[in-house]
């Protein structure tokens, strides 16, 4: 007899056989086989074949009216052979319909199901097989909704835990609570760094540690292959084990042990693994240590050119970005930095700023609007930041995906920088005390006097733009309709 195949589980949660029996509208009754609360059904299938084995995938509630049963079946091995084939195919349960063929369930079938451990349900005459199948799908839909709700709530709680002052222990505690088991983080050398939940016995703990050693080489072997999971699962004495490598080369592994495996557990544990990877991988890499060192040196008074070698070779460009939809969060900001090829990311007031090596030329990113500075040395990072901000404002106003700061020589290069700045201070002194006026005038001039696009770029009402420009004209005593005046003001604003 062929070995029992592994059921081809569909992408929907299974239905508890007990829940199906509890449906009063079906009036199903179990008359044989084990009354196991853990018995589940993955689908319902109707067949009147004498040998249903070739047509079953496994996990079915097989429904039959006994049309295939010969008259002398009760005195031979027919029912024993029939039930054994269903069990061999991985069938979950058998439903036998009363009328019009059989008034009662054959006693030999009841005995065979008891002998082979197959739950046998009596389907009353008023209940159609299609009604049973519909009830299975309805229960599946309810289970799927409950699973989605459970996963969503778990994701929210895990994200909140990751933002706590003790993020790693908090994430582990929340994961253990959600799975009803034990969660542990192992370091690169295999030692237990932190754990939460009720710890398992020594045998289960040893099996979980062995499982973590399985996924470490998987993570390294799959380095650079997007979407390739580095995880493994096992079961020991009824305890379900799983291990997740937290990024190739980092060596951290998340281990989970739970007394049961519920639908959605893998998704919840995977979310926790991603969060823990963000919390651990960055700080343990050499690049992360160098960035931390650079930050400390800047805070202690070092000049940018002195710390830049710790971050990589220059020159650099600054990128300012805003998402096209909702406000960005830390995860979205990190993802954008990864797409641009830099971990030097800052999220402030809804704008993501990224410091990127100039050899990784920023490209437009789906769902984002970007402003990119010219390539600069470390001592010009501040000016590049301003360039990127202006580029982003112009990109948003013109609905462009990306705007770069022009780096070709211009007429203003003919005037010494010090003289240009002195001229700008004198000319713009009347509005210098109100930064909003200078910013509005600069944006308005860059957008050729467009009220609407300036309002979009500055995130203000167009009437506010009109009032500010009128105020600038009055304070400067200038005719802003004169192109020569506009040109001189633009020159001065570039050097303010």
Give the domains, in start order, of the chain with CATH numbers.
Answer: 15-139 (3.40.1390.20), 163-284 (3.30.450.30), 315-404 (3.30.70), 411-494 (1.10.10.2840)
pLDDT at 467 over 90: yes
In tens, the pLDDT along 160-205 reads 888 776 788 889 999 999 988 899 888 777 778 888 888 778 888 8
| Angstrom distance (rounded) from CA 313 to CA 295 | 16
Q: What's the confidence (pLDDT) of residue 121?
A: 97
Q: What's the confidence (pLDDT) of residue 25?
A: 95
Which is nearest to 88 in space by CA: 41, 46, 45, 53?
53
- Strand blocks (E) in 124-191: 182-186
Tallying the residues shown for the chain, one arrives at 496
- For the CA atoms of 172, 175, 176, 180, the dihedral, rounded to the nearest 10 degrees, stands at 180
Q: Mean pLDDT across the stretch 250-256?
A: 82
pLDDT band at 106 (very low <50, low <70, confident <90, very high): very high
- If one counts every other C-beta atom within 10 angstroms of the C-beta of residue 111, the result is 15
Q: Lowest-confidence range among 53-57, 183-187, 223-227, 485-489?
A: 223-227
- If one counts every other C-beta atom within 10 angstroms of the C-beta of residue 475, the result is 16
Tokens coding 390: 């202006």
CA 147 vs CA 13, 44, 218: distances in Å: 8, 21, 29
Which is nearest to 64 in space by CA: 7, 5, 109?
109
pLDDT at 115 over 90: yes
Q: What's the confidence (pLDDT) of residue 393?
A: 85
Instruction: List residues bridging with 402 in a β-sheet.
Output: 370
pLDDT band at 236 (very low <50, low <70, confident <90, very high): confident
CA 425 vs CA 268, 438, 455: distances in Å: 58, 12, 26
pLDDT band at 247 (very low <50, low <70, confident <90, very high): low
Q: What's the confidence (pLDDT) of residue 290?
A: 72
Query: Burial, 368: exposed, middle or buried (Cβ in 10 Å; 0-12, 13-18, 19+)?
Result: buried
Q: Which helix (H) or strand (E) holds 489?
A: helix 483-494
pLDDT band at 44 (very low <50, low <70, confident <90, very high): very high
Q: Lowest-confidence range among 116-130, 258-272, 431-445, 472-486?
A: 258-272
Q: Mean pLDDT across the stretch 369-391?
A: 89
Q: What's the confidence (pLDDT) of residue 331?
A: 65
| Angstrom distance (rounded) from CA 365 to CA 360 | 14
Q: What's the confidence (pLDDT) of residue 470?
A: 93
Q: Which helix (H) or strand (E) holds 355?
A: strand 351-357
Q: Lowest-confidence range among 49-58, 251-260, 410-419, 464-473?
A: 410-419
In tens, the pLDDT along 7-31 reads 455 556 889 999 999 999 999 999 9
| Angstrom distance (rounded) from CA 130 to CA 46 | 9
Report yes or no on whether pTM surpasses 0.85. Answer: no
Q: Mean pLDDT across the stretch 144-158?
A: 88
Q: Lowest-confidence range among 188-202, 208-222, 358-372?
A: 208-222
pLDDT at 280 over 80: no
Residues with Cβ within 8 Å of 457's Cβ and at least 6 positions away in sequence, in order, are 393, 394, 396, 397, 443, 447
- If one counts every other C-beta atom within 10 angstroms of the C-beta of residue 138, the result is 12
Q: Lowest-confidence range among 214-218, 275-279, 280-284, 458-462?
A: 280-284
| Residue where the block lists tokens 């993802």 | 335
pLDDT at 298 over 80: no
Q: Mean pLDDT across the stretch 301-325?
A: 84
Q: Lowest-confidence range among 24-33, 275-284, 339-348, 354-363?
A: 275-284
Q: What's the confidence (pLDDT) of residue 217?
A: 65
Which is nearest to 473 in space by CA: 453, 489, 462?
489
């Amino acid at each position: 007899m062929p070995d029992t195949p592994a059921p081809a589980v569909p992408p929907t949660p299974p239905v508890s056989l007990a829940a199906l029996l509890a449906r009063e509208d079906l009036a199903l009754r179990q008359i044989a086989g084990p009354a196991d609360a853990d018995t589940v059904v993955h689908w319902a299938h109707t067949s009147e074949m004498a040998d249903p084995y070739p047509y079953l995938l496994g996990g079915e509630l097989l429904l039959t009216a006994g049309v295939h049963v010969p008259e002398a079946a009760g005195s031979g091995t027919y029912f024993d052979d029939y039930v054994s084939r269903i069990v061999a195919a991985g069938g979950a349960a058998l439903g036998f319909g009363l009328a019009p063929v059989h008034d009662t369930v054959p006693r030999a079938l009841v005995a065979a199901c008891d002998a082979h451990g197959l739950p046998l349900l009596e389907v009353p005459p008023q209940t159609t097989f299609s009604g049973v199948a519909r009830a299975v799908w309805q229960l599946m839909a309810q289970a799927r909704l409950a699973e989605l709700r459970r996963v969503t709530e778990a994701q929210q709680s895990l994200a909140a835990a990751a933002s706590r002052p003790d993020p790693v222990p908090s994430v582990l505690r929340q994961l253990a609570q959600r799975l009803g088991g034990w969660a542990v983080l192992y370091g690169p050398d295999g030692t237990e760094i932190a754990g939460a939940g009720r710890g398992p016995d020594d045998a289960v703990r040893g099996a979980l540690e062995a499982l973590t050693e399985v996924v470490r080489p998987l993570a390294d072997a799959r380095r650079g292959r997007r979407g390739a999971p580095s995880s493994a699962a096992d079961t020991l004495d009824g305890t379900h084990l799983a291990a997740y490598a937290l990024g190739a080369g980092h060596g951290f592994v998340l281990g989970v042990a739970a007394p049961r495996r519920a639908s959605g557990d893998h998704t919840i544990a995977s979310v926790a693994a991603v969060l823990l990877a963000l919390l651990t991988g960055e700080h343990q890499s050499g690049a992360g240590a160098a960035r931390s060192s650079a930050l400390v040196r800047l805070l202690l008074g070092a000049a940018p050119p002195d710390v830049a070698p710790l971050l990589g070779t220059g020159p650099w460009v600054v990128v300012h970005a805003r998402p096209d939809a909702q406000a960005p969060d830390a995860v979205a900001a990190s993802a954008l930095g990864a797409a641009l090829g830099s971990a030097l990311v800052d999220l402030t007031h809804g704008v993501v700023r990224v410091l990127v090596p100039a050899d990784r030329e920023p490209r437009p990113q789906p769902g984002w609007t970007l402003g990119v500075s010219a390539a600069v040395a470390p001592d010009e990072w501040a000016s590049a930041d301003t360039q990127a901000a202006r580029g982003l404002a112009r990109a948003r106003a013109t609905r462009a995906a990306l705007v770069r700061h022009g780096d070709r020589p211009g007429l203003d290069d003919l005037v010494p920088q010090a003289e240009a700045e002195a001229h700008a201070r004198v000319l713009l002194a009347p509005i210098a005390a109100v930064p909003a006026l200078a910013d509005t005038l600069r944006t308005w001039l860059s957008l050729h006097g467009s009220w609407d696009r300036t309002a979009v770029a500055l995130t203000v009402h167009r009437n506010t733009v009109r009032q500010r420009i009128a105020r600038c004209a009055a304070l400067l005593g200038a005719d802003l309709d004169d192109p020569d005046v506009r040109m001189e003001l633009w020159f001065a604003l570039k050097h303010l």
